[in-house]
Amino acid sequence: MVDFFEVIRRALNGPYYAEDDFIMRLLVPQLRDVVKGYDISHDPHNPVPDDDRLADAVFQAGKDLFTRVGVFCPDTSRVIRFSDEEVEEALRDAPSAAVYGEGRDETVWVARRPESHVRPFCFLGSGGGVVTTDDVYVRLVEGYGRNPRTNAITCPCITQINGMRVQAGSPLELLACIRSVELGRAALRRAQRPGLPILNSISTAVTAAGKITGSAFGLRDSDGWSIGPTSPLKVPFERLNEVAYVLARGGSIVSDPGPILGGYAGGPAGVAVINVAYLILSILVLRCHTYNTYPIDVRYGCNTSREIMWPISISTQAICRNSHVPMCNHTYVAAGPMTEMCLYEIAVAMLRNVPSGGAIEYGGTAKATKPDHLTPLEPLFASEVAYATTGMSRAESNEFVKRLLPRYEERLAKPPLGKRFQEAYHWDSIEPRQEYIDLYKRVKDELADLGLAFR
C-alpha cells in the first residue's frame, strides 16, 4: 500500500484546484457520470434492497469515482490522487479485523457479510452527544458499560468545564479533552469493565491539539481514534496531523465519514456511491483499521428517514460484499429519549444495518445535539434489536422496515424531544424510571408480535 509519507507528499504537490472548482467542476460532474454509467437508481419502495448485482455496481462506481476525483487538501489546494492499481492494492492490504480492549473486555471486530450469522460488534454510548456536567458524563458512561453486549464505548462531549463554556482552539478545549478521558476511565471502572475500549477517542476535541493532548491522559493503544474526512472528499491537515500521531504510537484508527443526502452528493444514488469512495479514502489517506459511516438526511439531521435508508443499506452491502474491512453504521435518530418514536427509529436502523452486513454504533438520540437528552437505555435497546436481526435475510428485514417506517416518518420534521437523562433515570442507581421501562417493554412486545425474535 502507498505509505503515509507519500500521501503527505501528494497533499503538498498534487494537482492544484480552487476548492469550488474541485467540488463543482470535478467532483459533482464525475459523481453524476458514474451514477449514470453504472445504472445506479434509487428504489424508494424497498429501503433494504436485496440485489447483489446492484450492490456490486455501487462498489465499482465508488472505486471509479475515487480514482477519477481523488481527495482534496484544503490547506494546500492540492488533490491527492491514486491509480487503479494503488486502489486495488489498498483494498487487498487493508485490515480484515481489529482487536480492541484489554483483559476480559478484549474483543475482535471482524468484517461481516450481508445476512451473516456472525453477531455484530456493538459500539455503544453517546455518539458525541453533549452533556452539561461531569456527573452526567460519568453516570452515562457507567450505564453504557453495564450493558453486557457493549464491545466498545462512544463517549459524550463536554460542553463546559469549571463553569466556562468550552471554546475550540482555546486552553479550555485541551483541559476538557483531558477531563473527558479521565472521567471515561473512572466511569468504566465503576461499571466493573475497566478494559472496555473507548473508540470515539475524544468527542470533545475539535482540533488535533485537543485530541492529541487528551490522549496522553488515559487513552491506550487498545482504544481507537475516530478520525474523519470533511465533506465532500476533503481531508485537512488537522486530520492528517491526528493520523500521524496515532500511527507513531501504534494506535488504531476508526474512520467516520458522514456524506449528506441533499448536499454535494445529491440524492440517494449519489450518497451510496460516495460512501464507497469514502471507504477507499479511509484506507489510503486516513489509514483506518475500521470504517464507521453515518450518512445524514440534511432535512432532518438524522439517518432514519425513508430516503436515507436505501443508500445506507446498499452501500453497506456493497462494502461488505467487496472488501474485508470491518465496518459499522452510526445511527442518529430524530426523537429524544423516553419516546415511542425514538425506539421505533432505533429498531428500523438496526434492521437496516445488521442484515446488510454492518456492525453498529449507536449513540445519536435527539440528533446528538440536545444537552443531556440521552440515556443508557437507547443503546441497550439498539444492541438487543441488533442481536435479534443477526442472520435475518435482507428481504425479511425490508418487510419489517416497510411496516415500521409509517409509525414515525411523518414526525421527523418535528420529533418529540423526550426527557433528559436526569428525568428518565434514577440519579443514584443509574436505572431507568418505571415509565421508561414500561414503554421499552411495550415496544419490544410489539416488535416480537411482528416476528422479531429477541435472544
Closest listed residue to residue 152, CA positions, set 278, 324, 295, 289:
289
- Region 303-332 average pLDDT: 98
- Region 383-395 average pLDDT: 98
pLDDT tens-digit map of 263-278: 999 999 999 999 999 9
pLDDT at 364: 87
pLDDT at 231: 86
Beta-bridge partner residues of 227: 255
- Region 165-171 average pLDDT: 94
200 pLDDT more than 90: no
Question: What pLDDT band is residue 170 in, cutting at 50, 70 and 90?
Answer: very high
CATH class of 97-450: alpha beta
Residue 236: exposure state from Cβ atoms within 10 A (0-12, 13-18, ≥19): middle
Q: How far apart are CA 403 and CA 343, in angstroms?
A: 14
Q: How far apart are CA 269 and CA 291, in angstroms?
A: 20
Mean pLDDT of the chain: 97
Question: What pLDDT band is residue 211 in, cutting at 50, 70 and 90?
Answer: very high
Q: What is the end-to-end Cα distance of the chain in Å, rounded?
A: 42
Question: What pLDDT band is residue 347 in, cutting at 50, 70 and 90?
Answer: very high
95 pLDDT more than 80: yes
201 pLDDT more than 80: no
- Region 42-50 average pLDDT: 96
Beta-bridge partner residues of 230: 234
455 pLDDT more than 90: no
Question: Residue type for 66, please?
Answer: F
Q: How far apart are CA 425 and CA 413, in angstroms?
A: 27
348 pLDDT more than 80: yes
- Region 237-247 average pLDDT: 97
Q: How far apart are CA 358 and CA 348, in angstroms?
A: 14
Ramachandran category for residue 357: left, alpha or beta (phi over 0 → left; psi -120 to 50 → alpha): left
pLDDT at 367: 92
Please say whether the beta carbons of 126 and 203 come within 8 A. yes
C-alpha cell at 214: 487528551
Instruction: Cell 476535541: give the residue.
Output: 205
Q: How far apart are CA 170 and CA 162, in angstroms?
A: 14
Closest listed residue to residue 150, CA positions, set 87, 85, 105, 214:
105
